[in-house]
A = this chain, B = another copy of it.
Amino acid sequence: MIKQLEVVRREHLKEKPDMATLGFGTVFTDYMLSMDYNPEQGWHNAVILPYQNIELSPAAQVLHYGQAVFEGMKAYRTGDEVRLFRPEENFRRMNQSNARLNMPEVDIDFMVDTLKQLVTLEKDWIPTGEGQSLYIRPFVIATEAYLGVRAATHYKLLIILSPVGAYYGSDHLLATKIYVEDEYVRAVRGGVGFAKVAGNYAASLMAQTRATELGYDQVLWLDGVEQRYVEEVGSMNIFFVIDGTVVTPELNGSILPGITRKSILELAQHLGYPVEERRISIDDVFEASQAGTLQEIFGSGTAAVIAPVGSVKYKDQELVVNNGQAGLVTLDLYNHYTGIQNGTEKDPFGWCVKL
């Protein structure tokens, strides 16, 4: 594991985009991090270099067998202060994903240090508007040119950066409508659902397309065995406020262990809300709605932060949550959470890493 980081400067910096109209994940900054792996040297050749296309053999295993994992996190800026949010958690999860796909693990401390250097260099790219941030995408791909099915010997890790606005457009606290998918399955225990691996997302597209066509914003996935228990939403974990308690499905091997999920659980407890991680069936949700105890639903994820859910469609039933509005618990958590991330509020957990 090499500890040195080379920096290759570019001659001309790009023009920055209009930060007022940022979308998600289309604009990239001036630099990226690149690092290579082979069995002899381990991870080596760590270099910050101008953002540019990469060259791959057409036989590179990532293109055939999907050995690819990624992470997503954000840097926030207030004035001159820049914060990363729990970056070591993302590299820890990356290692869990790597392990599941037989890929080499990274040195977490080295990655966090390297990321700090990269983000410091790209500080001017961090937008400061409401809901804006610098999205950070580390990923690892198998580069070996070999068509047999086995773990590759050569890999590349890259980190690319993209200034982003709110994930679901400007009105980020508008409640979303979710569609409970009862045919397609995202993941099953014994599979790779808990890992942030490329194939999980390709497998989710058809369901998302159907939900969109039917007029819904997002898919809510059920478990792969019984197709009864709530798992997660597109790229968010899911929370229910039932009778004052903040409930989220327990981690079961097929749900992605969201860092926002984990942090929200800690924050909610800190704020005095009772929390529960447990199995919850879609029938439980509809029964709670009928009984009048289902108060709020929201999704949690790095991209969307906290997204209130206004309605849930399952087979021929549809329930409306809190009159289709963001609820009080959702808003309370949202305000404290984004306050900590933006530095406008104290960070009692030590989550933020200042540059």
Contacts and interface: CB of A to CB of B under 8 A. Distances in A.
Interface of A: 24-26, 28, 32, 51-59, 62-68, 70, 100-102, 135, 137, 139, 141, 145-151, 158, 160, 162, 183-192, 197-206, 208-209, 224-225, 227, 234-235
Given A66-B197, A224-B188, A162 B147 contact: yes
B162 A135 contact: no
A56 B59 contact: no
A197 B204 CA distance: 13
Contacts of A139: 63-64
Contacts of A32: 58
Contact of A146 (B25, B101, B224): B25
A187 B65 CA distance: 15
A202 B68 contact: yes
Contact of A54 (B56, B68, B135, B141): B56
Contacts of A145: 26, 28
A32 to B, nearest CB: 6
24 contacts: A24-B147, A25-B59, A25-B146, A25-B147, A52-B58, A53-B56, A55-B55, A58-B158, A59-B162, A64-B137, A66-B66, A67-B202, A100-B206, A102-B209, A188-B188, A188-B224, A191-B224, A192-B203, A197-B199, A198-B199, A199-B200, A199-B202, A224-B224, A225-B225
A12 to B, nearest CB: 19
B63 A53 contact: no
A332 to B, nearest CB: 28
A246 B62 CA distance: 36
Nearest to A72: B147
Given A102-B209, A189-B185, A202 B65 contact: yes
A53 B53 contact: no
A202 B64 CA distance: 9
A9 B274 CA distance: 70
Given A101-B206, A135-B147, 15 more contacts: A24-B147, A25-B59, A25-B146, A25-B148, A26-B145, A53-B58, A66-B66, A66-B198, A66-B203, A68-B202, A101-B202, A102-B205, A102-B206, A149-B201, A185-B188
B185 A66 contact: no
A94 B88 CA distance: 40
Contacts of A102: 205-206, 209
A344 to B, nearest CB: 27
Contacts of A185: 188-191
Contacts of A162: 59, 147
A194 to B, nearest CB: 12
A70 B66 CA distance: 11
Contacts of A63: 62, 68, 139, 141, 198
Contacts of A28: 58-59, 145
A184 B192 CA distance: 9
A188 B188 CA distance: 7
Contacts of A197: 66, 199, 202-203
A28 to B, nearest CB: 6
Nearest to A68: B63
A335 to B, nearest CB: 26
A163 to B, nearest CB: 12
